[in-house]
Amino acid sequence: MGAPVLNGPFTMPMFRQFVPRPLQPWIYVFMAVSFQLSGGLYLGSLNQMIGETTLMREDLLMCLYANLAGMAIHFPMLFRMKFRFTNKTLLTAAATGVLVCNLLAPHITFLPLLWAVCFIEGICKIQGTFECMSNIQLWMTPKRDFTVFFPFLHIIILGSMQVSDLIATHLMYYYHWSYMHWFISGIMLIDLLIVTACTRHFRIVKKFPLFGIDWLGAVLWATLLLEVAYFFDYGDWYDWWNSPVIRRLAVIIGLTLALCLWRMFTVRHPYFEPKMWTYRYLLPVLILITLVEAFLATERVLEEVFYEEVMHYEEMVSVRLDWLALIGVVAGCLFSYWWMHIRRFSYLRLISVGIAMLACYLMGYYFTLSADIHISQLYLPVICRGFAYAVLSATFMVCLEEIMTFQHFFQALSVFNMLHMVVGGVMGAALYAQGLSHYVADNLARYGAAIERVAVSRTAPLSGTFMEEFVSRMMEVSIKQIYGWCIYACILLFLLFLLYDTPIRRELKLMPRWTNLRKEIANTFKKSSK
């Protein structure tokens, strides 16, 4: 499969003639951002939703994991959908799906149905984003160079995450948490209007039917992913192995995994082919992204506990840090572009830079965290977190593309995002929540016993204010202890990277043409049918 030969300037033939050519790719950038801003439920309004509905924090977080699971599991289907339907059909379906899910989600209280809606929204979200970005890839990089494409793609993906949280928090504070759903629905209506008025049905290749897809395998892998998310999300609430629910779920996860593996090795075209798992360096990349996501889960557990329980910040105060995270994300993506594309330095060294910045974030919080600080003292650690997240996300995807053939790249990308979006984060969050409950109880017992030996006037007994301050300080100490263990683990990982060396790549693998991809997929089915 050779690199594409470009004849003439970049064009987008799906647009109608009255749309100015310089404006066409920017319209798709806007639509990609609009899809990335969407979600099933929005964590920026989490606290108000808990207070107003009968749902627990774990219920709402499970909605997030269902949404991410829908995105992750759909990756192997993206090209098949692109080769079967026109660009206009896919964008219309994706925008309509996001619109309907956002209108339904605020009114659903039956959890399985709410999780299903969030799961479907995730599928529509990733399909719409992919359809937009794949059509402007040649505009971003005429040579289809992933060291250009992935860094700028992550500006949209990770930057939209921060902007979505900012918008949801402000709408919740000034109006109501459901206004975020109305806002996204309005944007989807604008997308539908643009698609209807400005685009026409256009195929980049001859229509390829949706045969040979392992639909049951996709359902099994999605079920396994949701079961794992449920296990770690609700584990602390059920008291882990002391609960028969968790014990039964562990057995069910094992049976589901066995079914997935059995089907993978027995059907002709499994959803994840066995050969996909045999590529060199795939397993280390998957392990690394899981560890990185586990480290970054401190944002959703330790940071939130610190803001709410120690500093007593309102949402409008803590959300100011999202602006700093956005700065870090943009800086990290631009730095990755400079490192990989301009300088052509080693990817492994760039991963080391990302892990070093991750360690700086953890150490920044460890040495800064105190009830006596001003929020501005957290700006630099948050920038380091955003920088590290952007560098590592973009670099890992480039590495994954370099070690895989394109036949298995999107299958591996699906597994990668299962760990990247769901498993790593939910495992890390569960670990930190369990560690926090242990250290808080331990510190209260240790330091609480010393209160009786402190000289306190008998005429001034311990007040509620004193006890509240004492508990807050114990929470602060416990959070710092967990950050300390994270720093040890992160530094150890960084030292392992410094000890390992690899040659610098000079020749980069290019993405093939759409027509070549379609021919390869068609030939695969022809060979297997003989």
Nearest alpha-carbon partner for 392 in 352, 423, 427: 352
Q: Is the pLDDT of residue 274 over 70?
A: yes
Helices (H), 267-373: 282-296, 302-305, 315-318, 321-337, 347-368
Q: What is the DSSP string of 182-228?
A: HHHHHHHHHHHHHHHHHB----SS------S--HHHHHHHHHHHHHH
What pLDDT score does 461 carry?
54
Judged by average pLDDT, the poorest of 430-439, 442-451, 490-499 is 442-451
Whether 366 contacts 473, CB under 8 Å: no
**d(C-alpha 126, C-alpha 78), whole Å:** 9
Strand-pairing partners, residue 199, are: 15
Q: Is the pLDDT of residue 501 over 90?
A: no
List the structure tokens of 421: 């979006």
pLDDT band at 529 (very low <50, low <70, confident <90, very high): low
Q: If you average pLDDT over each of 168-182, 197-211, 250-264, which comes out highest?
A: 250-264
What pLDDT score does 514 carry?
58
**d(C-alpha 511, C-alpha 265), whole Å:** 28
The gap between the terminal CA atoms of the chain, to the nearest Å, is 23
Q: Is the pLDDT of residue 460 over 80?
A: no
Mean local confidence (pLDDT), 171-198: 94
What pLDDT score does 262 carry?
96
Mean local confidence (pLDDT), 218-227: 96
Contacts of 461 (CB under 8 A, 6+ apart): none
Whether 134 contacts 82, CB under 8 Å: yes
Q: Is the pLDDT of residue 305 over 70?
A: yes
Run of H or E including 27 = helix 24-37
CATH hierarchy code of domain 18-212: 1.20.1250.20
Q: Is the pLDDT of residue 369 over 50?
A: yes
**d(C-alpha 523, C-alpha 42), whole Å:** 43
Mean local confidence (pLDDT), 53-63: 89
Q: Is the pLDDT of residue 311 over 70?
A: yes
Domain regions of the chain by residue span: 18-212, 214-270, 276-448+463-499
What pLDDT score does 3 carry?
38
Fold category of 276-448+463-499 in CATH: Growth Hormone; Chain: A; (1.20.1250)
In a 3-state reduction of DSSP, which class is residue 472?
Answer: helix
Residue range 10-19, pLDDT digits in tens: 788 999 999 9
**d(C-alpha 481, C-alpha 439), whole Å:** 8
Q: Is the pLDDT of residue 502 over 60?
A: no
Judged by average pLDDT, the poorest of 268-272, 424-428, 510-514 is 510-514
**d(C-alpha 151, C-alpha 189), whole Å:** 29
Residue range 77-106, pLDDT digits in tens: 998 898 889 999 999 999 999 999 999 999
Run of H or E including 246 = helix 244-266
**d(C-alpha 339, C-alpha 355), whole Å:** 15
Percent of the chain beyond pLDDT 70? 89
Q: What is the DSSP letter of 506?
A: -
Q: What is the DSSP letter of 419?
A: I
What pLDDT score does 5 carry?
40
Run of H or E including 425 = helix 424-451
What pLDDT score does 122 carry?
95
In a 3-state reduction of DSSP, which class is residue 348?
Answer: helix
What pLDDT score does 527 carry?
57
What dihedral angle (degrees, nearest 10) is formed by the CA atoms of 95, 96, 102, 107? 180
What pLDDT score does 2 carry?
36
Mean local confidence (pLDDT), 474-501: 88
Cα angle 520, 524, 525 (rounded to 5 degrees) comes to: 125
pLDDT band at 455 (very low <50, low <70, confident <90, very high): very low
Phi, psi of 383 (to 5 degrees): -60, -40
**d(C-alpha 425, C-alpha 423), whole Å:** 6
Residue range 127-142, pLDDT digits in tens: 999 999 999 998 998 8
Residue range 37-48, pLDDT digits in tens: 998 889 888 888
List the structure tokens of 394: 């973009």
Judged by average pLDDT, the poorest of 39-53, 339-353, 491-505, 513-527 is 513-527
Whether 226 contacts 122, CB under 8 Å: no
**d(C-alpha 359, C-alpha 337), whole Å:** 22
Residues, the chain: 530
List the structure tokens of 416: 């990668």
Q: What is the DSSP letter of 374?
A: -
pLDDT band at 500 (very low <50, low <70, confident <90, very high): low
109-to-57, 187, 500 alpha-carbon distances in Å: 14, 25, 51
Percent of the chain beyond pLDDT 90? 61
CB burial class (10 A; 0-12, 13-18, 19+) of residue 242?
exposed
Longest dimension (CA), the chain: 93
Whether 389 contacts 296, CB under 8 Å: yes
In a 3-state reduction of DSSP, which class is residue 15?
Answer: strand
Mean local confidence (pLDDT), 99-125: 94
Residue range 370-429, pLDDT digits in tens: 888 888 999 999 999 999 999 999 999 999 988 888 888 899 999 999 999 999 999 999
Whether 208 contacts 522, CB under 8 Å: yes
Q: Is the pLDDT of residue 254 over 60?
A: yes
What pLDDT score does 453 carry?
54
In a 3-state reduction of DSSP, which class is residue 448?
Answer: helix
Same topology between domain 18-212 and domain 276-448+463-499: yes
What pLDDT score does 55 carry?
86
Compute the radius of gyration of the chain from its Cα atoms.
Answer: 24
Contacts of 520 (CB under 8 A, 6+ apart): 1, 406, 407, 512
What pLDDT score does 207 carry?
78
Mean local confidence (pLDDT), 157-176: 93
pLDDT band at 143 (very low <50, low <70, confident <90, very high): confident
Whether 357 contacts 408, CB under 8 Å: no
CA 174 vs. chain centroid, Å, equals 27
